[in-house]
Amino acid sequence: MQFQRFSREEYLKLPEKPGIYKFLDGTDKIIYVGKAKSLKKRVSSYFTKTNLDNRKTYRLVSEIRQIEFVIVSSEFDALLLENNLIKENQPRYNILLKDDKSFPSICITNERFPRIYSTRRVDHSKGEYFGPYTSVKAMNGVLDLIRKLHKIRTCKFNLSEENIKKKKFKVCLEYHIGNCLGPCEGLQSEQDYQKDIDEAHKILKGKLGVVSRSYREKMQKAAEALQYEIAQSYKERLERLEMFQSRSLIVNQKITNTDVFTMTLSENEKSIFINYMRIENGAIINSETLEVQKKIEEDNSEVFRFAIFDLRKKYGSSNPFILTNEEIEPWENVEIITPKIGDKKKLIELSYRNALYFKKEKFSHKSVKPNESILKKLQEDLKLTDLPEHIECFDNSNIQGTNPVASMVCFKNGKPSKSNYRKFNIKTVVGPDDFASMKEVVGRRYAHLKKEKLPYPHLIVIDGGKGQLSSACEALKELDIYGKIPIIGIAKRLEEIYFPGDNIPIYISKKSPSLKLIQQLRDEAHRFAITFHRQKRSKASIESGLDNINGIGENTREKLMREFGSIKRLKESSDKDLINLVGQSKAERIIEAIKKGDL
C-alpha cells in the first residue's frame, strides 16, 4: 500500500468552509497550525506577494512541503481544534509568526494562595504557564470559565501568614459580590483555596471530564448530607461546564480516550480514503486524511483495519475505544464501535465529511479539464502540436506616445489566470513605436522565463497584424527560442490570424469557439493594458501638476493620487476633504494653486 497526502501546490483547491490547516515541512513535522472561516481564502493568502514581503511569512512559506486540513462545522469549532492541536504539537511558527508580538499564556502563580492571570511574558520562576494561545478570545473564554466555576482571587497582595495575622489587608468588592472568599483576611483556609486551584489546573490541562465528574460527586454528597445550598452551587458549576462543552464536538466531556476512523471507497475501487481523529480527555488532538492505494483483489475491510493499526502506531495511540463507520474484525484490548445515534454518531459524520471531501477533490481534479473541447478545437484550427493549455497574449497602450505601457495576460485551461498577468513599463523605446515596444516586452518576458528555467506557454498571441508579429518574432530569435513556441498575431479589422513568415492570413469561422477564445484573450489583454495606462497617466498628471506647488512633497502627492486619482477630481473636492486629508497648511496651498489656475 502507498500513502499519499495533500501537496503544497494544491492549496488553491481547498474548500471555502471553516476548519483548521496544518503546514508540514520536508520531514513531515507540523510547523504551523491555523484556523479559518474559509480554508481556501486563508491558506491562499500566505502565498500572495504582499504577505511574502514579510520576512517571517516568507520563511514559513519556504519551508512548507505539505498542507493538511480538517473541515469542521463552525468557526468556533475551528478555534477550539486549533488550540488543541497547538497544545499537542507545539509548532514552532505558532510562536515565531505573530508580527513580532508574543502569544498570550495563562499563568498559575507559585505563591501562597495562587493567582490565575493572562500574560505575554513568560517567567517560569513565577509559576506554571499554559499556552501559548493564538487567540486572545479563546484564552479569555477559558479564564472566564474558571472564574465562573471557582473563587479565585484577583488581587496582587502578598498573602503570607505573617501579613494575614497582622491584618494588613481588607476584603474588596470581589468578596462582597461573591467572587472571592476573602483569604486576605483569613476567611478562607489555604487548603480549601487550593482545591479550587487544583480544579482550575485540570481545566487548563484540558481534563474537563475529570472536573465534571468531580462536581457531580460533590453535588451528590452535599445533597445526601442535606447541604442543599452547597449542592445547588455545584449543580450550577456543572451546568456552566456542560454549557461550555455542549457548544462543540471538538471538546466534548462525554467522549474521551477514543480514536475515530471513517473510510470511503473510490469509484474504481483502487483506493480507500480514510480520515482519523484522536480524542484525549474530551478534545480532538490529532487529525489526518489520507488515500490508501489497494489492489482490486484485496479485501476492503482488511485494508481499512491495517490502516487503522498503522495510524494508531504513528500517533502513539493506545486508546481503548475505536469508532468507525464500517464494521471490522476487532483485536485484543480494543473495543470497536459503529455508533448509530448521539454525539459519537456526530463525530463519525464529521470524520466522514473530511474523508468524502478529500475523495471528491482528488477525483474532480483527475477528471476532464474545463474547456478541453475548446482547446482541442483551437489546436485543430491552428495546427498546433500540443494542446494549448497555457496561452499568453500581449498588447501595447499609449496616447500619442505618452506613458507607453504593455500588458501580458495568461489563460490556463481556457480560463484567465490573473495571478500570472504582467504589466510592463516601456523602458527602451522613445515615442509611439508599437513595433519596438512589442519587441521589448516579448523579449523581457521570455528572457526572464529562460533565465529562471520556467515553462514556456503552448501558444503566444500578439494583438496586432504582421508588423507587431514580426517584432515579437525578432525578440524570440534574439533569445534563440524562435520556433520552440507557437506564435500568432490577430488583426482587429477582420479578425485575421497571421502566422510568422506568411503574408496570407487565415480566417476562423466567426461562430467557432476557438476564435472566441482568441478574441477573449485579445480583449482581456487590451483591457488590462488600457487600465494600466490610465492609472499611469492619471498619476503622472496629478504629480506633474503638484510638482510646482511649494511644500507639497512626494508623500503628499501619493496620498492625493490614492484619494482622487486625477487633477479633475482633486479640483472638484471640497476644502474640508482636502484639509482632512493633508492638513490645513498644505490644503491652503493646493486651494490657492487651483484658484490661480496653476493646477
Q: List pLDDT tens digits, range 509-532.
A: 888 888 999 999 988 988 888 887
Query: Looking at the structure, do residues 437 and 466 belong to the same domain, yes or no?
Result: yes
| pLDDT value at 301 more than 50 | yes
| pLDDT value at 313 more than 70 | yes
SS (H, E, C) 23-43: EECCCCCEEEEEEECCHHHHH
To 5 degrees, how large is the angle CA 492–CA 495–CA 497? 110
Q: Which domain holds residue 196?
A: 105-133+135-246
β pairing state of 19-24 and 66-71: antiparallel
Query: Looking at the structure, do residues 336 and 392 belong to the same domain, yes or no?
Result: no
As a whole number, mean pLDDT of residues 351-369 equals 72
281 alpha carbon, distance to own chain's centre: 28
As a whole number, mean pLDDT of residues 216-225 equals 88
Query: Looking at the structure, do residues 378 and 519 belong to the same domain, yes or no?
Result: yes
Residue 278 forms part of a structural domain? yes
* Closest among 201, 209, 218, 297 to 255, alpha carbons compared: 209
What pLDDT does residue 459 have?
Answer: 95
Residue 578 forms part of a structural domain? yes
Query: Looking at the structure, do residues 79 and 197 belong to the same domain, yes or no?
Result: no
Query: Looking at the structure, do residues 386 and 351 belong to the same domain, yes or no?
Result: no
Residue 234 forms part of a structural domain? yes
From residue 570, alpha-carbon distances to 433, 467, 555 in Å are 32, 41, 16
Query: Looking at the structure, do residues 210 and 326 belong to the same domain, yes or no?
Result: no
Query: Looking at the structure, do residues 411 and 290 belong to the same domain, yes or no?
Result: no
Query: Looking at the structure, do residues 456 and 387 belong to the same domain, yes or no?
Result: yes
Residue 540 forms part of a structural domain? no
Query: Looking at the structure, do residues 406 and 521 belong to the same domain, yes or no?
Result: yes
Count structural domains, the chain.
5
Across 224-228, 487-491, 545-549, least confident range? 545-549
| pLDDT value at 230 more than 80 | yes
| Distance from C-alpha of 515 to C-alpha of 517, rounded to nearest angstrom | 5
Q: Which residues fall within 8 angstroms of residue 302, CB to CB, at 6 or more apart? A: none
CATH number of the domain residue 333 falls in = 3.30.420
Query: Looking at the structure, do residues 395 and 323 belong to the same domain, yes or no?
Result: no
What pLDDT does residue 566 have?
Answer: 67
As a whole number, mean pLDDT of residues 20-35 equals 86
What pLDDT does residue 261 have?
Answer: 92
* Average of per-residue pLDDT values in the chain: 80
3-state SS class at 351: helix
Query: Looking at the structure, do residues 343 and 274 belong to the same domain, yes or no?
Result: yes
What pLDDT does residue 5 have?
Answer: 41
Query: Looking at the structure, do residues 498 and 581 belong to the same domain, yes or no?
Result: no
Residue 493 forms part of a structural domain? yes
| Distance from C-alpha of 307 to C-alpha of 298, rounded to nearest angstrom | 13
